[in-house]
Amino acid sequence: MEKNAKIYIAGIYGMVGAAIARHLRAQGFNNLIGHSSKELDLTSQKAVFDFFKTEKPDYVFLAAAKVGGIYANNSYPADFIYSNICIQTNIIHSAYIFRAKKLLFLGSSCIYPKLAEQPMKESCLLTGELEPTNEPYALAKIAGIKMCQAYNRQYHTSFISCMPTNLYGPNDNYDLMNAHVLPALVRKVHEAKSNKQDSFVVWGTGSPRREFLYVDDLAEACVFLMNEYLHDETINVGSGQEVTIKELAETIRDVVGFKGNLVFDSSKPDGTPRKLLDVSRLKSMGWVPKHTLKKGIELAYEDFLSGKVRM
């Protein structure tokens, strides 16, 4: 990307979009555009078309999405499939019509089969059943990957996609029902400590394994891929390391400095048993993440304590 190129970040006020903007600004890119959902409704075909017609961005980071943790995905399946398919379809099609030079679509590691061989290679896409708690979201994201590939094949566009693992960091969502596990546990442990409780509740059995990536590492990888990657096949972005939910809860307890116990609520779903990405393709291109899980949680907790987070 040229330093003065016009770069559109869809989802610029979300956790991922804001991190991409921070990273680009730090690299000297100064022609960034992006709007809040109140200013530009990305589910509206006309609004997106008109926006592209006026702005004609050179590069597009498609980081806008309706996202949430296991409870939100399981409770609002219609919203997850509808919003995500609308947003990505409108943006990808407009990027083609108004000749964006390149587009990066961000998906999620939940696109891979529930019982995929671990770590999950990009090639295991569409080889088995999906995890039921987030199937509508995963199907929307799979449609996004396939749409990029179809436009490349038919219209010779340069639309790429990457699949990040579970993300966390500044600007995360701390709403206890709708959040992902890491921010939810940061808040629960902090409140348990503040309220002098003996324990805090961890959903499920604590045995599922998850991989986590600090969002600023993802942002760096996205910019790297926009500059260096041009291939139809999606590419995984992760830390390559997994922990059990129990181990995650214990690490968060250490960072927050709480001495109480974990109580498991097995009435809540575990979701997929393991979700570790095979990141060898990205690694072979020379990219590795900078933040350890402990360091990332410390930074996320600082952000939580700033009081400016979504609850």
Binding site for ligand GFB (CB under 6 A): 69-71, 73, 108, 110, 133-134, 137, 166, 179-181, 184-185, 202-204, 208, 210, 245, 268-272
Considering beta carbons, is residue 58 or 79 the nearer one to ligand GFB?
79
275: left (phi over 0), alpha (psi -120 to 50) or beta: beta
SS (H, E, C) 231-244: CCCCEEECCCCEEE
- Asked if 164 and 106 count as a contact pair (C-beta separation under 8 A), the reply is yes
Residue 166 vs 234, nearer CB to ligand GFB: 166
Q: Which residue in the list 96, 137, 151, 229 is annotated as catalytic?
A: 137
Query: Of 85 and 181, which CB lies nearer to ligand GFB in the complex structure?
Result: 181
Distance (Å) of CA 86 to CA 79, 118, 164, 237, 261: 11, 31, 21, 24, 43
Angstrom distance (rounded) from CA 204 to CA 13: 31
Q: Is 174 a catalytic residue?
A: no
- The least distance separating ligand GFB from the CB of residue 311, rounded to whole angstroms, comes to 14
Residue nearest to ligand GFB (CB): 69
Q: Indicate the Cα dihedral angle 35, 36, 42, 45, nearest 10°.
A: -60
Residue holding tokens 């003996």?
A: 198
Minimum CB distance to ligand GFB, residue 191 (Å): 12
Q: 42: buried, middle or exposed (CB in 10 Å: 19+, 13-18, 0-12)?
A: buried
Question: With helix as H, strand as E and coil as C, how does 280-298 read?
Answer: HHHHHCCCCCCCCHHHHHH
Closer to ligand GFB at the Cβ: 20 or 24? Answer: 20
Query: Can you read off the two tokens belonging to residue 25?
Result: 């600004």
Of 121 and 268, the one with the shorter C-beta distance to ligand GFB is 268
Task: Indicate which residues carry an active-site annotation.
Answer: 137
